Structure 1
């Protein structure tokens, strides 16, 4: 009963399986710059980006209709995310929280990979399904990882 309540990872660790730290399989350091970005900071960056996009949509596109601003905010979010990731590897929220999206080998994401990642991020579901390194399916599909800078 205890292993069921603790979850599959705890049960596997009790049987002697060692998972290592997040990012070890990718050759990333455990802590500091270049390590996998913490989930809390990634979610906070997402909220900053979303708030910025809602404000942009309301101020410039749909300032007369609040409900229209919510619809346009997703489109603005997609554009901001794509441009930010393709050009500098980060959105405004990620820059504020000192995070960056890079290829798993450490290089910059190309425009195609940035577009694939953005489309999957806007679809939401791939972004909330993670592996043991806390990489969402949108990052895995683009062969990307979010790191601390």
Structure 2
């Protein structure tokens, strides 16, 4: 498998099942150690999700009114808005508003240009459960990324 961002360069392909020579996160996928295309750390990813949740809360309160603050349905309304705000942009653009703000995006490890709706829906559902996102591998990928064969990388 060629590197997703340098597939036009000559050289031996990188096999994702073999450990990287230098061992930095994302090396087995052919990603650089730092800069654009490098894997994103947990703090930045958490910040992106937090921004998306804040936007979802603001939209829920905008549509439901401030009276919804005491409502038992506000949590589900926020979750559904967050789900749509995350799944659809990830499927089409590979980024949510929070990811755009912090300079990151979701990429498929099989080098396809789009994440696609099925992967984005599954990824967002697992991310909404939270536990899969906390348990991460050596490349910083949570269970939601491993299940959908995606990785979060820097876009700037």
The TM-score range, normalised by the shorter chain, is: 0.7 to 0.9
1:92 and 2:93 correspond: no
CA contact (8 A) 1:26 1:104 kept: yes
Counterpart in 2 of 1:113? 119
1:73 to 66, 74, 78: 78
Q: Deviations over 1:71-95 (max 9, x none)?
A: 3111111111111101111100000
CA contact (8 A) 1:90 1:99 kept: yes
CA contact (8 A) 1:49 1:93 kept: yes
5+ residue gaps, structure 1: 1-17
1:134 to 119, 140, 145: 140
Counterpart in 1 of 2:8? none
Cα distance, 1:43–1:64 mapped onto 2, change above 3 Å: same
Q: Deviations over 1:25-51 (max 9, x none)?
A: 121111111110122111111111110
Equivalent-residue separation in structure 2 for 1:112 and 1:143 (angstroms): 12
* Runs of 4+ residues deviating >4 angstroms: none
In the superposition, the TM-score normalised over structure 1's length comes to 0.83
Aligned CA-pair RMSD: 1.5
Q: How far has the Cα of 1:69 moved from its partner?
A: 2.4
Equivalent-residue separation in structure 1 for 2:80 and 2:131 (angstroms): 17
Q: Deviations over 1:80-137 (max 9, x none)?
A: 1111101111100000111000101333211111111011111111111101111000
Q: How far has the Cα of 1:60 moved from its partner?
A: 0.6
Higher share in helix: 1
Q: How far has the Cα of 1:62 moved from its partner?
A: 5.1
Counterpart in 1 of 2:109? 104
Equivalent-residue separation in structure 2 for 1:59 and 1:106 (angstroms): 39
Q: How far has the Cα of 1:148 moved from its partner?
A: 0.2
